[in-house]
């Protein structure tokens, strides 16, 4: 009789799946394949959904901002004299930045010229708060089409073009750099046009989605030839840049002159290379006395262009009762709020008051001169009714100017 081996009883069932231990007992590179697959998956997920570098305490991967070689700009400073500390400041050197506003509007179809409500909000706010000598719209619209749109165009186009001080600057659409590089996107064309406008005229350049919230005169009179602002970023890799959508400059300032030369020298078709160029030049030229003032991001761009911030700015909320939706109410323009220390703390006082008119979701724009309201990823409609309802941060920020237009009879609540 054959002896039974109890340590082998009962026999193991057949197993068609490889155990975890067997997997790791593979020879060669195959033993590491599952680990590599898991690691790659984790990295992709973290990079997609999180800013990994901002999660670790030592922040090892702060951005390296692009810089540009000096050689192609060898003659850019020929007509810009160096500052002389022994020479008294002249009136020209200390003159305020001109009170001129510049917008750019280029046509996709040369036969169609139409402006929307968002453009009206920006242009009317510039008129109301800045009191500029001119609001230039640099455009490739034909003069005859401009006049037809001003007299018989659609509702918001007529309203924009009939705002006091709005003045057309008819331009030729830029096509090529001097090196032959095609300028083939609206964004790039706008970069070249704003460079020319600020170099020749000086003033205040605004993107059409940048909305003035108060008078910018203190910055025009700050004694600097240029004022630019930092850009907010939710992710570390996007930090450290200058916002190109709002720029104040004296005519023929060093920054305006060199930026125009640098755009021609370095533009290579890459999207938003102008941001790198302006950032690089603004920080380099800060060393020149009185040349560049870089203000905090809250001044011009308190929210970023990233989708999460667009939701925070434009997303609608329920109104808890402190401030009812609709027109009227206690509305004061920023210039009516005063400029004392107590006035500066009024927002915080409102926030601390129980049952006050501020909502828990409401943002503080008391330090903001211009709200650069990026809305590329926002799918909702920004309309007059949307602003009058005051259920979003954007609506509450721009409401005083819009309601002023209603009270003046320029627009009606039903429009």
pLDDT digits (tens, 9 = 90+) for 161-216: 999 999 999 999 999 999 999 998 999 999 999 999 999 999 999 999 999 999 99
What pLDDT was estimated at residue 69? 75
- Residue 353 predicted with pLDDT over 80: no
6-36 residue pLDDT tens: 444 445 555 544 454 554 455 566 667 777 7
Query: Given pLDDT bands bounded at 50, 70 and 90, which one contains residue 54?
Result: very low
Q: How many other CB atoms are there within 10 angstroms of residue 226's CB atom?
A: 27
- Residue 45 predicted with pLDDT over 70: no
Percent of the chain at pLDDT above 90?
56
- Residue 328 predicted with pLDDT over 60: no
What pLDDT was estimated at residue 236? 72
- Residue 240 predicted with pLDDT over 80: yes
Angle (deg, nearest 10), helices 186-200 and 254-266: 150
Query: Given pLDDT bands bounded at 50, 70 and 90, which one contains residue 377?
Result: confident
Class of domain 93-300: alpha beta
Paired residues of 103 in beta bridges = 137
Higher-confidence residue of 107 and 26: namely 107
- The CATH 3.90.550.20 domain(s) of the chain lie at 93-300
- Residue 44 predicted with pLDDT over 70: no
Higher-confidence residue of 275 and 342: namely 275
């Amino acid at each position: 009789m054959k002896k039974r081996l109890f340590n082998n009883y009962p026999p193991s069932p057949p197993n068609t799946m490889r155990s975890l231990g067997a997997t790791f007992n593979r020879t060669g590179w195959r033993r590491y394949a599952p680990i590599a697959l898991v690691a790659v998956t984790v990295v992709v997920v973290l990079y997609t959904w999180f800013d990994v570098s901002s999660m670790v305490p030592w922040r090892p991967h702060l951005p390296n901002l692009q810089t540009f070689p000096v050689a192609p700009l060898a003659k850019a400073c020929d007509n810009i004299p160096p500052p002389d500390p022994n020479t008294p400041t002249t009136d020209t050197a200390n003159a305020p930045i001109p009170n001129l506003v510049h917008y750019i509007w280029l046509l996709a179809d040369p036969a169609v010229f139409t402006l929307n409500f968002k453009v009206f909000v920006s242009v009317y706010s510039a008129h109301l708060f800045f009191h500029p000598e001119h609001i230039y719209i640099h455009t490739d619209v034909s003069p005859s089409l401009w006049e037809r749109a001003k007299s018989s165009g659609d509702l918001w186009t007529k309203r924009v073009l009939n705002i006091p001080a709005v003045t057309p600057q008819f331009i030729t659409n830029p096509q090529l750099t001097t090196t032959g590089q095609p300028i083939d996107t609206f964004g790039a064309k706008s970069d070249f046009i704003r460079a020319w406008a600020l170099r020749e005229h000086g003033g205040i350049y605004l993107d059409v989605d940048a909305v003035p919230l108060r008078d910018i005169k203190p910055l025009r009179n700050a004694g600097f030839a240029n004022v630019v602002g930092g850009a907010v970023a939710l992710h570390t890799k996007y930090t450290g840049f200058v916002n190109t959508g709002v720029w104040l400059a004296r005519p023929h300032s060093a920054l305006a002159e060199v930026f125009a030369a640098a755009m021609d020298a370095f533009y290579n078709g890459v999207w938003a290379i102008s941001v790198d160029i302006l950032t690089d030049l603004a920080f380099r030229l800060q060393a020149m006395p009185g040349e560049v003032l870089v203000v905090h991001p809250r001044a011009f761009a308190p929210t970023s262009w990233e989708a999460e911030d667009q939701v925070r700015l434009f997303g609608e909320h329920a109104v808890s009762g402190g401030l009812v939706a609709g027109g009227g109410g206690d509305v004061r323009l920023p210039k009516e709020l005063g400029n004392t220390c107590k006035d500066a703390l009024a927002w915080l006082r409102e926030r601390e008051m129980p049952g006050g008119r501020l909502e828990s979701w409401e943002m503080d724009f008391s330090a903001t001169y211009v709200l650069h309201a990026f809305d590329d990823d926002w799918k909702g409609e920004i309309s007059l009714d949307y602003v009058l309802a005051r259920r979003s941060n954007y609506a509450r920020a721009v409401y005083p100017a819009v309601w002023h237009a209603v009270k003046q009879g320029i627009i009606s609540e039903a429009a």
